[in-house]
Amino acid sequence: MIAESNINYNRIAEAIVYIKENFKNQPNLDEVAEKVHLSPFHFQRLFTEWVGVSPKKFLQYISIEHAKQTLKNQQATLFDTAYETGLSGTGRLHDLFVKIEGMTPGEYKNEGKNLVITYSFTESPFGKVLVASTQKGICHMAFVDHEEHAFKGLKMLFPEADFDQRVDRIQQNALCIFTQDWKNLDQIKLHLKGTDFQLNIWKALLKIPKGGLTTYGTIAKCINKPKASRAVGTAIGSNPVAFLIPCHRVIQATGDTGQYRWGSTRKTIMIGWEATQVDDN
């Protein structure tokens, strides 16, 4: 078993290197499988098992990262970016960005230009919170220790946006989550950007009831990716909206609460607080 595992590891490692070095040629499944001396079917299954995503999706991730770096060059056009990434045209570049990043390449290049973000700081049962919104909904929510550092972090996410420090109706509605039963609130709107995979994970998190807990493995099964627990954990850790998208309700299969973007101690307290709220109701 160990010998076979080592062979499979070496094959997958070779495939990853090959894809990274040849992504501009957009190699297909058959080509990469032949490189590591496997049938396309066997290679697809083995790669997905080891990496957590299919070879095609991995190629898309490599391609999008190169495209993003190219777009950061202010002189680069969308056509230039498509060509440099090995895509046949701007249409494929557009489709790739929408599928992986949840935005068009133009929107990515603008980095929030012409977007007005309203933000404010407030107290919650678990410490100070920074909440930010656009006209479409909440785009960011985080527990903070230092307001200045937190605002700099928000600006890094939307470097070209205009910011206005004030409380709006969207924020007020969202912040009621700490004081009322969310089922009695008007629908809280979110304005998020993320990959299809991340958005699916965040949607799954919204289904975890208040006071309830689940595991990373269970979330993976919910999105039909039972072997992608590691990728699921990464997506959960990148949740941009604290508490509203309840990533704190996901724990390890052992029962350990695990890590949390805004502190493991805060996560433990939040889980206990919610359990008390449910018992009181």
| Active-site residue (options: 139, 176, 222, 247) | 247
Q: What secondary structure letter does DSSP report for 40? A: H
Phi, psi of 129, deg, nearest 5: -125, 140
Is the torsion defined by CA of 177, 180, 182, 185 positive or negative?
negative
Could you report how far apart the first and last alpha carbons of the chain are, in Å? 52
Q: What secondary structure letter does DSSP report for 102? A: S
Mapping DSSP to helix (H, G, I), strand (E, B) and coil, where does residue 114 land? Answer: coil
Q: What angle do CA 253, 254, 258 make, to 5 degrees?
A: 80
Structure tokens at 4: 């076979």
Q: Are 188 and 173 in contact (CB under 8 A)?
A: yes
Kindly give, in sequence order, each residue whose CB lies less than 8 Å from that of residue 230, ignoring residues fewer than 6 positions away.
52
Instruction: Give yes or no: 247 in active site.
Output: yes
* CA separation for the pair 205, 192 (Å, rounded): 14
* CA separation for the pair 47, 5 (Å, rounded): 13
Mapping DSSP to helix (H, G, I), strand (E, B) and coil, where does residue 1 land? Answer: coil
What single-letter amino acid sits at 33?
A
Which residues are designated catalytic? 247
